[in-house]
Structure 1
Amino acid sequence: MAVPNGPLDRRSFLVTSGLVAGGSALATGLAAGPAQAAPAARSPLPADPFTLGVASGDPSHDGFVLWTRLALDPHADDGLGGMPAKDQLVQWQVAEDPRFKRVVRRGLATARAKAAHSVHVELYGLRPGREYWYRFKTGSHVSPAGLTRTAPRPDTFGPALSMAFVSCSQYEHGYFTAYRRLAEEHPDLVLHLGDYQYEYKKGVYVIAGGNPRDHDGPETVTLANYRQRHAQYKADADLQAAHAAAPWLVVFDDHEVENNWAGYIPEAGSDTPTLEQFTARRAAAFQAYYENMPLRRSSIPHGPDIQIYRRVRWGRLAGFHMLDTRQFRDDQACDDGNKVCPAAEDPARSITGAKQEKWLADGFRRSEARWDILGQQVFFAQRDSDAGPVKKTSQDAWDGYVASRRRITQSWVDAKVRNAVVLTGDVHAHWASDLKLDYDDPAAKPVGSELVCSSITSTGDGADSDPAAHPYLKINPHLRFYNNQRGYVLTKIGKDSLTADFKTVSYVRTPGAPVSTKATFVAEDRVPGLHQTYLRPLPSTLRSKAAPNDQAIIDQTIANEREP
């Protein structure tokens, strides 16, 4: 099936690697060699093409991926960034110092017009557990420098890992200040858990008081649409700062394609309602996603399919199991939404698909990590919104796939995983919870922990609140924390404990908000579950207000998560 604006096969994604000094850089594609080093433009570009910044990702103990994409005009309607329709040679450098006095790798890559002038360079043979700086150059134009790092050797723990995770950055809903504050934390690693960009055209997803910024172009359906939207987001200086601060591990959720899609099933009322139309849309979205993310060539899409679930090892300290909960899931049951749904208990249903479930269980059995961390998209713990005997849950989360959740939880229990931690995005609020095999048994002991990050901007400023007063925590005693401000979660992962700081910014409608820590939770080695060590006092202006009734709070929480 043809992809909008023309198909791209694996060979077309090639980034030619040449003139490599003292190491190996792998081409992005199936094959590499002089025969594929097609002539590329050496003529100077009329302006700076590094308007989308730089990024790195998927670190190993001896390497990582370097990324950039050339664009003279990020807002160009055709999605090609105002670039001439020919390939462009790009130099890259990796150094041990920020001034590039000690360059340890260098080479040439080809930014191919057919890949929207994106560049992916996979590096191997570097020293483990080290910081490196990198940059690109074409003609007289030099990119900003980025900072990245390799993981520790597989047989060592290395120092404690500073890891931040984020999700849900709706450009129209505010400024990406939280990305800037995250960059200022100088983390070693960043996880993005989905909804990196949103598909809506201007005027569709509007928050109270109006959107402070607007999307370019129509709803993203074609390859040109997705490329333009990614470029608009990447042109944001705060997002560029976060990418340049550390290597990223990325997975997508729904909005990178379309709200609430499942497998080959589009959202109700979709602009691409037929199987053929949605398959083409999926292929376009995945192609643009790969072009704009620091992913390895193992994630080059095959038309409407992409390999995004994968493992990244951080020495003996942590193993990151990055999941895909969209591409292989059964359709949401009971017409989606937050509702009573007996079909959610159907043992045949899966949110990951059987193959990924087996891959995950096998990974748990083989794991030698101190901390096994699942980087994934949607709420994992049970979250019942009905105080009575009837269970009312979200069908777009793991609550809509109860047997799948139980099988995966049981697999890490059976494998005797030392410490299981699930990281989650999607719901536009901070949450913390203990994970159980049976959430309906008050006496069931925790078997893991879940940390949920708020959005970067989605749903706007939000509001501070008393987390203990939220009715979800009364109905679900395994839920430990809630806050509805924007922000991210910053963790410190050591051999003896994992500490999570829930970071919040007080506003996103205008830029420049300061960041603070709302709460801190700790998971101790071999002690499943969380305990709170810090909670920022609630402002007196909020303490004096009469609290709304429980149902009003539940309704507002659901509304904050629901997308048009």
Structure 2
Amino acid sequence: MFLSAAAAGAGGLLLSGSALPERLPYGGALKRDPFTLGVASGDPTPDGVVLWTRLALEPTAPDGLGGMPSGSYDVDWQLAADERFSKIVRSGTATARAAQAHSVHIEVDGLQPGREYFYRFRVDGHVSPAGRTRTTPAGLSPLKFAMAACAHWEHGYYTAYRRISEQDPDLVVHLGDYIYEYAPSGYTAVSGVVRRHAGRKCQSLGDYRLRLAQYKSDPDLQAAHQVAPWLVVFDDHEVENNWAGPVSSVSGTGAAAFARRKAAAFQAYYENMPLRRGNLPKGGSIRINRRIDWGTMATFHLLDTRQFRDDQACDDGERSGCDDRLDAGRSILGADQRGWLLDGLGRSEARWNLIGQQVIMAQRDGRTGPGVDVNMDSWDGYAADRTRLLEGIKASGAANPVVLTGDAHTHYAATLKPDFADPDSPQVAVELVTSSVSSDGDGYRDAAGIAETMRENPHFSFIDQRRGYIVCSVSQDEMRAEFRTLDYITRRGAPAKTAARFTIPSGHAQLSA
């Protein structure tokens, strides 16, 4: 046992037991608390889960190494069946090395399915906050998960993460833009800069490590990590705005220079996320598409819409009259990943097939009247690939496909069909798009603009431009989605409200209010 007393969790997780444990005598160089970035878990299985922490004395130290002394540190860890840590079921020691920014990834196995567990770390006499995690069930078990995306540090506070922690989810699914790579004031919201980025624009490994450490120092984000395992995928801002495969969005950036930048970003991303060894980056690439089963109730098919996409059509600028976006040879997934997804859907025995990906799949036409005005960075810029995918999903026979999406900084609920111009085109799936945690600052709700957009895009059932997240409850007969919103995030403490509720009946690709 680390200690005779229980460790009380910080943030949204409160463990039984009254107080933090008494600190043990410091045993070495770390005279201050090194657990300033919190703890996390992720990618659960029926018999295991990944446990994560990273040591940092000063999260915004300029070199990105968190103010840690050089050298390696032995980090003890415990996993318990109870929140008082009186029933330790697994324990061990991992080495936190400077070469991995003093992060540790523990792949625990041999656990019981469908069980809640508690974990913590110790180094040099310091004990981390305790986190709660769980294994996936073996059978048809209900699921409650939260969806989040897009958390720009400078645009506001992470109250949405705190509210997610209070929802007590089984899982949190983060769909990208966990960080933003811009220099201080490099992307300013209308509501201004609330708190400043440390460091410069992210280019080097040290830059990305610093930025991730600054973001992870936020107590509201730490609270959301503490209460449940996370499933994470990245979008563009973990590297660079609107990048596409080997192509930088910054004019004049050569392929070799951009490959080095991606390698740095992927290394830092892995170091700071609860990912498995199989997700270790290899040079300028990293595998994030993977499957997580929640028993036989649901399978999460997590996609990568960045590394394998063709460059955006029409220089990613022309929004209308761009015939190149319709080119049948263009892909956002790449043929191999599309085949991987459709093969998995065809084999799936899950009641619900949840496709987690980054950019909005439904057509979103911003032009009133004839013609379309669309975003080339979304699936609208890869229209033929979208048609291929949706036809493939329908042909797969997979039960209850639901697409989970981030990026848009707006809540959307939509139905998906291969041809959005044809009223008789079959409804293949439902798409739930979560608004941002903080990106674009305080949100708004333009009722007239929403009505006009929905008239032009009748496949949308709901739009809301306020900040927020989605909470989904999945059962054998239905999936329920609550769109949660916050009226402000440029100051702390906003309550979360349910702006809309939808039900997706099993066997029907449709939304019922």
When normalised by structure 1's length, the TM-score is 0.85
Aligned to 2:308: 328
Residues 526-545 of structure 1 deviation map (CA, whole Å, 9 limit, x = unaligned): 0111111xxxxxxxxxxxxx
Paired AA for residue 463 in structure 2 = Y
Deviations along 1:454-510, whole A, 9 cap, x unmatched? 000000011134389432210111111100110100000111000000001110000
Q: Is 1:65 the equivalent of 2:50?
A: yes
Q: Are 1:90 and 2:84 matched, yes or no?
A: no
Matched, 1:291 2:271: yes
Contact 2:313-2:376 within 8 A present in 1 as well: yes
Residue of structure 1 aligned with 2:95, choices 79, 90, 110: 110
Residue 304 of structure 1 aligns to a residue whose secondary structure is: coil
CA contact (8 A) 2:298 2:352 kept: yes
What are the residue-to-residue correspondences of 1:494-505 with 2, within 5 Å? 494-505=475-486
Moved more, 494-503 or 338-347: 338-347
| Cα offsets for 1:22-53 (capped at 9, x unmatched) | xxxxxxxxxxxxxxxxxxx9624111000000
Show the counterpart of 1:488: 469
The separation in 2 between residues aligned to 1:468 and 1:148, in whole angstroms, is 42
- 1:375-454 aligned at under 5 Å gives the runs 375-454=356-435
- State how far apart, in whole Å, the 1-side matches of 2:509 and 2:320 are: 30
CA RMSD of aligned residues (A): 1.3
Of residues 41-50 and 330-339 in structure 1, the stretch that sits farther from structure 2 once superposed is 41-50
Greater Cα shift, 295-304 or 386-395:
386-395
Whether 1:217 and 2:199 are equivalent positions in the alignment is yes
Quote the Cα distance in structure 1 between the aligned partners of 2:493 and 2:195. 15
Which position in structure 2 is the counterpart of 1:302?
282
SS at match of 1:224: helix
Q: Is the 8 A contact 2:328 2:384 kept in 1?
A: yes
| Contact kept? 2:412, 2:433, Cα under 8 Å | yes
Alignment deviations for residues 226-257 of structure 1 (CA, whole Å, 9 cap, x no partner): 00000000000000000001000000000000
1:459 aligns with 2:440: yes
Residue aligning to 1:141: 126
The alignment status of 1:374 with 2:355, answered yes or no, reads: yes
CA displacement, residues 200-250 of structure 1 (integer Å, 9 cap, x when unaligned):
111211122421110001100000000000000000000000000100000
- Select between 91-100 and 387-396 the one with higher mean Cα deviation: 387-396
1:475 equivalent in structure 2: 456
2:236 maps to a residue whose letter is D
How many aligned positions are there? 487
Is the partner of 2:466 in helix, strand or coil?
A: strand
Cα distance in structure 2, aligned partners of 1:83 and 1:339: 51
- How far residue 386 of structure 1 moved from its aligned partner, in angstroms, is 2.0
* 1:171 alignment partner, one of 150, 153, 158: 153
Superposed CA deviations along residues 276-312 of structure 1, whole A, max 9, x for unmatched, are 1111000000000000000011100001010110011
Distance across 2 between alignment mates of 1:140 and 1:469 = 55
Same amino acid, percent of matched pairs: 53
- Alignment equivalent of 2:341, drawn from 360, 364, 369: 360
Q: Is the 8 A contact 1:173 1:458 kept in 2?
A: yes
SS of 1:531 mapped into structure 2: coil
Deviation of 1:86 (Å): 0.2
**Counterpart AA for 2:254:** T
CA contact (8 A) 1:129 1:150 kept: yes
- 1:130-181 superposed Cα distances (whole Å, 9 cap, x missing partner): 100000001210000001000011xx112x1011010000000000000000
Deviation at 1:418, TM superposition (A): 1.4
What is the CA distance between 1:384 and its match in structure 2? 1.5
Establish whether residue 228 from structure 1 lines up as the match of residue 213 from structure 2: no
Report the residue type matching 2:41 in the other structure: S
Q: Which amino acid aligns with 1:157?
A: L
Distance 1:488 1:467, change over 3 A: farther
Pairing partner for 1:522 from 495, 503, 510? 503
- The runs of at least 4 consecutive aligned structure 1 residues that moved more than 4 Å come to none
Show structure 1 runs of 5+ residues with no match. Answer: 1-40, 533-564
Superimposed CA distance per residue, residues 288-343 of structure 1 (whole angstroms, 9 cap, x where no aligned partner): 00000000111000010101100111111001000000001000001114333111
**In the alignment, what sits opposite 1:202?**
184
Preserved CA contact (<8 Å) 2:320 2:371: no
- Distance in 1, matches of 2:415 and 2:307, equals 27
Q: Contact 1:340–1:393 at 8 Å: present in 2 too?
A: no
In structure 2, distance between residues paired with 1:221 and 1:525? 46
